[in-house]
Amino acid sequence: MKNGPVLEVNQLKTYFYLRDNKVAKAVDNISFSILPGETVAIVGESGSGKSITALSIMRLINKPGRIVDGEILLDKEEIHRFSPKQMMKIRGNDIAMIFQEPMTSLNPVFTIGNQIIEILRKHKKMSKGDASNRAIQLLKMVGIPRAEEVMKEYPHQLSGGMRQRIMIAMAISCDPKLLIADEPTTALDVTIQAQILDLMVEMKERFQMAVLLITHDIGIVSEYADHVLVMYGGQIVEQASAKELLQNTKHPYTKGLLESLPNIDDDVERLGTIKGTVPSASDFPTGCRFSSRCPNVMEKCTQSNPDLMEIEKDHFVRCYLYEGGIKNDNEYV
């Protein structure tokens, strides 16, 4: 029974209703799924809709935002239909989430021990003594030295890397099926980032979790993701396995991102750039949302938005350049 996807997102749309009848289409028709033990990465620049995708799955979208359409299935359960009360049970139990800045999710006035014990008592209905023992065990599992002492410490007494380890300990404390990590290492130094990402892989394999990894760092995607979604303007513009995406890059936006990156292994005098800036989610250009910055823009790109097309097996691209490609059943032809 464990073969189906843990998470299935179908045609998710999350919009923000702003003043002057403006609508920010933060997430606009996104579909993907994650298998147990699989890491799917969402990569894109800021404002592309990565965090709103994650928060939609957690059902944590507040006014003026709203999930306007789509399905979210967790182990085939239609959680998009769940009541807020049912969702409370899902969050922290079946789905756990870690953020860039652990301080925002840790309570500064409670000790680390108190916070983990609280979670275990609430979600796992453990006795105080059992919860305390389990908490120490979890801290050791995520590589916290002096676990017994750290139980008695407050979040501000710990380094950023340690705090992120604590977040991971809390996340796995209830054996979630899905772990969502939104830029989990963006605030950390590279040597600590490597430790945290390795820890996430270890925990994923140990507990066969599905992982949704949100990052702006394509290097991280290359080393840690099985599958990648490249987001731009609230939509997926390219989707493939990590290996395929990096070796056989198709979308002009993905190409632009890769060329913008200084590469440690080879020297270029000037970096490639993508002209202009990310358009606001309430003010996309007509047609393809990338058309205002695309070096390959054609007339039709400014008239209608291309569909996400499968141009090779399991490689999807939203771009008219590949329209005549392998698949030819495009409705816009």
Which stretches of the chain bind ligand ADP, using CB under 6 A? 16, 24, 26, 44, 46-52, 64-65, 281
> Counting contacts by CB under 8 A, is residue 220 touching other proteins?
yes
Binding span for other proteins by CB under 8 A among 18-26, 90-98, 113-121, 213-221: 213-221
Residues near 198 by beta carbon (within 8 Å), at least 6 away in sequence: none
49 binds, among other proteins, Mg ion, ligand ADP, none (CB under 5 to 8 A by kind): ligand ADP
Whole-Å CA distances, 212 to 11, 105, 166, 191, 268? 17, 18, 19, 22, 33
Q: Which helix (H) or strand (E) segment is 188 a member of? A: none
Q: Which two tokens stand for residue 224?
A: 């840690």
Going by the DSSP 8-state scheme, the letter that residue 91 receives in this structure is B
Binding span for Mg ion by CB under 5 A among 43-51, 119-127, 161-169, 194-202: 43-51
For tokens 């990338």, the residue is 290
Q: How far is the CB of 289 from other proteins (least distance, A)?
A: 15
- Residues 80-139 within binding reach of other proteins (CB under 8 A): none
- Residues 285-314 within binding reach of other proteins (CB under 8 A): none
In this structure, are strands 178-182 and 95-98 parallel, antiparallel, or unpaired?
Answer: parallel
- Residue 13, strand partner residues: 28, 69
> Counting contacts by CB under 5 A, is residue 48 touching Mg ion?
no
24 binds, among other proteins, Mg ion, ligand ADP, none (CB under 5 to 8 A by kind): ligand ADP
218 binds, among ligand ADP, Mg ion, other proteins, none (CB under 5 to 8 A by kind): other proteins
> Counting contacts by CB under 8 A, is residue 247 touching other proteins?
yes
Nearer to Mg ion, 180 or 237 (CB): 180
Q: How far is the CB of 275 from ligand ADP (least distance, A)?
A: 19
Q: How far is the CB of 251 from ligand ADP (least distance, A)?
A: 17
Residue 238 burial (CB count, 10 A): 26
> Counting contacts by CB under 8 A, is residue 268 touching other proteins?
yes
Give the binding-site size for other proteins (rule: CB under 8 A).
Answer: 45
C-alpha torsion angle, residues 189, 192, 198, 203 (rounded to 10): -110
Site string for other proteins, 23-62 (x = CB under 8 A): ----------------------xx----------------
CB 168 within 8 A of CB 181: no
- Find the angle CA(39)-CA(254)-CA(298) to the nearest 5 degrees: 140
Residues 247, 189: Cα–Cα separation, whole Å? 28
Q: How far is the CB of 17 from ligand ADP (least distance, A)?
A: 9
Strands (E), 183-294: 210-215, 227-232, 235-241
Residue 27 burial (C-beta neighbours within 10 Å; 0-12, 13-18, 19+): buried
Nearer to ligand ADP, 40 or 172 (CB): 40
Give the interface with other proteins as residue ranges (CB under 8 A). Answer: 45-46, 145, 159, 161-162, 189-195, 197-198, 216-220, 222-224, 243, 246-247, 256-265, 267-268, 270-274, 277-278
Give the interface with Mg ion as residue ranges (CB under 5 A). Answer: 50-51
